[in-house]
Structure 1
């Protein structure tokens, strides 16, 4: 036996024709598939792809929820607007209140200032009246000691004095000018009318109708006034001897009194 009889051949065994043919067919099928796929891919690459999205259809429950949400949103917006309007109104009211308070304080300060000025003026007038009373007292004493009386009046002054003394005891009536009743300026006007002198009707005007004279230099027939010249609230007639006649008030009527009974503020002379 040959020494190589048991050595296997190194040559590959031949494949059968059917196996080769099958493999060739598979390969060809794969290549065909790749070719078709490549062509299809090329075709798809050349044409744009359009996709259609379908929106979901709202159901009745979902629509109701959307409507309810819209209502809630609207109500919230209305609430915010109402609150904003209230805040704006409150701010406006606060601003107006601040303005009103400032104005009230200003008016109060002005009123206080006026009251203080009036008080000072009144105090000055009281001091002036006190000084005048002292002067009048001295003047009355001097007049009495020197015998000054109605008998010293002559002419028109005597006629005026005689008239007013004749009215003593008659009633005081506001606005009356005689003959049965008088007010203060009505009596003075009527007295001077007897001697042909026309005086203004009211006390304020009568207190500036003649020449201002000092209370220490009075003569019978002079017009006495109480208050300021031009703003007098009462008038009478000096009759001499430290006495005057005037329609005082509804309680006393027309009286003759000493100057110390109600010291006047000043006097004017028209005769």
Structure 2
């Protein structure tokens, strides 16, 4: 059911352990297109051809040229929006324990959040497939494809490709936060991609309240305790102002 900002603020004020689960919707307002859904990247290209780990291993030059180069350009230009900054303010004031994000853009950290579990890894980091050396994406220059490490190994983004497992530490930590919180904010995600989709349900099974902030109802809405319907960049700053006021 839809609820008011005032009611949502009451839930947040009463919470002693709030965790946020964020998805692509929170970063759309920063100019980053989603992968799925209307206007998503997968409308224009087949993820199995360009985003599967097998495709990368078979032809890293093609994947870098047609997918990863574009993503690099988009992510380097993106900046945190008011929703990211509102979550950072919540953490600074002790009203947010951690963020579990399905996003790979690094914008939560750029906004100032410290406790961020990157469920799908991060495109903000580039790693070598041989020596595992890591470097920030800003230090990567695509003078040749695929880009190579100083050791000669092929460089790749430190994010999860199709066909790869969620990092074990990220999965375990996300589950721990989910079963220990008393309020989970679900922001900018339809909560349909597993295993991340299981986290709100895991929290709900441990008696946590679920508050959605999404433009439209989702498959999670029937079990959530309230839906703030609208854009996260507009609603989250207003919500934080009511909690802090």
TM-score band (shorter)?
under 0.3
TM-score after normalising by structure 2: 0.22
The structure with the largest strand share of the pair is 2
Structure label with greater radius of gyration? 1
The structure with the largest helix share of the pair is 1
